[in-house]
Chain A
Amino acid sequence: MGLMFKDETYRGDFTFANSPAAIRHFPFPFHEDKYMYAVNIEPHVPGRKGTAYEFPIDIDEHYLADMRDRAITLAEDPLRCQSLPHMLAAEWDLVELLMTSMARDYPEHFSLTRDGDQWHWINRPMKIEDKFTFGNVATLPLRPMEYITRQCQGDFCLLDQRDGDLWMDAGIVTSQADWSLDFDIGMSFKEWHAPVPMAHEIGIFDRALKFLLAMQIGHPVRRLNWTMTINPRLDTAPETYPKWGIDRTTVTPENVGDKVHLRVELQALWRLPRSNAIVFSIRGYLLKMRELVTIPKWSRRMHRVLKTLPPEIAAYKGLSRYQQTTIDWLSKYDDGQPTSLGFFPD
């Protein structure tokens, strides 16, 4: 598969857009015509070719633009990347996971040669080549997590496991849906999930935590989460709210198709072998309403999900202000026909 990396922006003139192949690649998150929180965890095993599930670490046509946008965000706010001192072993585990996955699944773009602890990494799209000693920080130009995640799409959090809990003790988070690593660093699983409405009461987090604590090496899992974003911005952090919060007031019936984006996070978790930590990857995808309605099943379903969304969830996701305008726009694409179960287009 020849990936053509696009030259596009997630700020300023917002030239980001999806090709027809990237639209079909998008992980549409609704398997039925309504939405409620659930422990929707499934094994992170290779899925359908041409979709976001094909490989454990997904690289797509937005790769170079994503990495450029991350570099801009980090230059403006270095605290988007933090790692507490005891997380170094987990950082190296992450280097191994990402390099081996990327080199195995995208050999035309990445290669990794290992001779014991002597590693040789080549990233052709970004024109990076480094030889280093695995486990020796001094042999890389950056700390291990920052080094590799400046070369891999998606945000990453490293969760330390101790005292029957998970702790967010390291991460690089530059494309988040309104949460802050700098605020959450060092928090326990339930602390950082505290703002989520309704899910605590139905026991979601008790069950999810117990499941995650028992995660085993070689059995990664994934789940989808979603929200909506106005303008194709990767960086919608609390720290930059003054820049993007006002976007929500700019939606009109005329510009819904281009301005309103469904934002899906493919969240995957792996047990890391040497550190016993868990890596939580949050790989974000954006899809314009104009792009979404090229898939008839998704148009009908998106319309119905938004119409029946509980108000607490709409408020938490920050979409109350433009929800009705978007429903009205989508209604033109919902002919009332039944939809088939499952995520994929018919």
Chain B
Amino acid sequence: MTTNQIRVRVAEVETVAAQIRRLKLVPIGMSGLPDFSGGAHTILSIPDGERTLRNPYSLMSSPYDTSSYEVSVLKAAESRGGSAFIHDKIREGLPITISAPVNLFPVDRRARRHILIAGGIGITPFMSIMRQLEHDDVPFELHYGMRSQERGAYWRQLRETYGHRVHIYFEDQGQTIPLKTLLDGQPLGTHVYVCGPSTMIDWVLNGARDAGWPAENVHYERFSAPPPGTSFTVELARSGKTVPVGPHQSMLEALEAAGIDAPYLCRGGACGQCETRIVSCAGAIQHNDHYLSDAEKAAGDKIMICVSRVDGSTVTLDL
């Protein structure tokens, strides 16, 4: 399934903090972009010479103003191309395509109160979520941890806009989110959301579990970039094609580069859309997704081709 593609122009590029850039995207040939809900993401497709870079980014602009979208991009320490391109090469005016918004991190509208916990660039989905909660007049508070003042984005404007509902913490000043206090003593009907580094997500999930929170009141968004590895070959059982996968390429990217239309939605191992059946595998499967259960991973007959790979010579897929 190819997602619905929309043509946009990069209207503004602004460095908002160390290693973080904000992009403003305006539609080409349309008066507005599709409506969306807080927490949704889009996938940017950026042409870079021969290849197309495709990365998911949370929409951080207001769901109530779709004349443009805004996203923020952190330059990855080991960028596979996308964030480095956005930081080093992108210029205002560049036409790119984006996917229609998809929301894998929606708020639970039954909640009486929302506690939002963000770490670093994980602030971005909460930017649109807070607009929505403000619009719906629902109580919320944000707890936002950053490395330092200069590496943290938007904290000044968030404090200005939402006042006492915004709590900020700078790691280099020894400030930490008081998780235990936060999770204790919340009224019934409170939901908690976390987006940030994987270790932070685990910290909050474990903390909520230990504090007796019901699982359905705890929400997180965990996108992974496809980790690099060694090169291997994908054989497609149905079409008979053979596709090489490079060390810094995901299987999904390799298939796309070979002109094969494979299904995807999040490209981050979270949504399950690219689940593919393994026919045979010469090598060890490296499951990097957050979708399959441990039992499914151990069974070794399914793989999420957006982030997982093989340490070995060849994997044969039911494609």
Contacts and interface: CB of A to CB of B under 8 A. Distances in A.
B95 interface: no
Interface in B193-225: 216
Interface residues of B, number: 22
Contact of A216 (B3, B35, B37): B3
Name, among A216, A218, A276, the residue most crowded by chain B CB atoms within 10 Å (CB to CB).
A276
A273 B272 contact: no
A321 to B, nearest CB: 43
B82 interface: no
The range of chain A's interface size is: 10 to 19
Contacts of B109: 86-87, 89, 160, 275
Contacts of B271: 214
Given A89-B136, A162-B106, A216-B3, A210 B272 contact: yes
Name, among A86, A216, A219, the residue most crowded by chain B CB atoms within 10 Å (CB to CB).
A216
Interface string A65-100: 000000000000000000011110100000000000
Contact of B37 (A87, A219, A275): A275
Given A216-B4, A216-B100, A217-B101, A162 B34 contact: no
Interface string A138-160: 00000000000000000000001
Contact of A273 (B4, B34, B108, B216): B34
B63 interface: yes
Contacts of A86: 108-110
A85 B136 CA distance: 12
Nearest to A135: B135
Interface string B243-285: 0000000000000000000000100000111000000000000
A123 interface: no
Contacts, number: 52
A339 B198 CA distance: 59
B26 to A, nearest CB: 19
B103 interface: yes
B34 A218 contact: yes
B29 to A, nearest CB: 16
B266 to A, nearest CB: 9
Given A86-B109, A162-B108, A276-B106, A214 B265 contact: yes
A171 to B, nearest CB: 16
Name, among B109, B136, B265, the residue most crowded by chain A CB atoms within 10 Å (CB to CB).
B109
A290 to B, nearest CB: 43
B36 interface: yes
A14 B115 CA distance: 56
A274 interface: yes
Interface of A: 84-87, 89, 160-163, 210, 214, 216-219, 273-276
